[in-house]
Structure 1
Amino acid sequence: VGVCQLQGESHYVSFDGSNHSIPDACTHILVKVCHPAMDLPFFKISAKHEKEEGGTEAFRLHEVYIDIYDAQVTLKKGHHVLINSKKVTLPAISQIPGVSIKSSSIYTIVNFKIGVQVKFDENHLLEI
């Protein structure tokens, strides 16, 4: 069991605890299943960074994309969640089999039946 974390201006802590800084406006793949199996379906988790508003040179985490079971979940600030580009009301428990999405005080939390959890907050923090 490990944790991958993104915070602030493109600061990454990978599952092995290594620190990385990738200051750019891109979408990065954080987790991807290369060889799906019966008990491990294909899924991919990506994070999109954009230049911060206000003329600064900082890049902030803007959106999180989760591809699983032929669906795409998009997490946005303000607990806004899209499933296949359509806005959904939380909690969203039965839209995608094996996936539940809820909001807590500051996090939008996505739980996969296979034991993966994604937490995205209002201050550009992502934990997988």
Structure 2
Amino acid sequence: VGVGYTLVKHSQSDQIPPCPIGMSKLWDGYSLLYVEGQEKSHNQDLGFAGSCLPRFSTMPFIYCNINEVCYYASRNDKSYWLSTTAPIPMMPVDSVQIPQYISRCSVCEAPSQAVAVHSQDITIPQCPLGWRSLWIGYSFLM
């Protein structure tokens, strides 16, 4: 049995991104950035599989007490998702229209760990010796 590594690719569009050549897709989903509940927050690293949820929900979590009684959307909880480049209207959006504004993602099985190489200017950085480029993108800081 080999060791499996995962790699996550976010499209920043409503299109599901393909996995790099030679890698298998484990699942696709929607790009989750950050959740906030009961005044506590948790960011989701876009490089990890937990940032690609198979289903989109404006409230991707619930609160359950020690008596196993669960509460949904009752504490001013929030979720933040990576968006697409689609222009967002000024008026409220119906729930069935929301997914077009949420980035799609794929979780891929990789033969080894991946590394992101960032540039501090407008040049595209080179891969370290012995590594190959999987795609070119932009750095995201939140």
Scaled by the length of structure 1, what TM-score is found? 0.22
Instruction: Choose between structure 1 and 2 for higher RCO, CA contacts under 8 A separated by at least 6 residues.
Output: 2
Larger relative helix fraction: 2
- Structure ID, larger Rg: 2
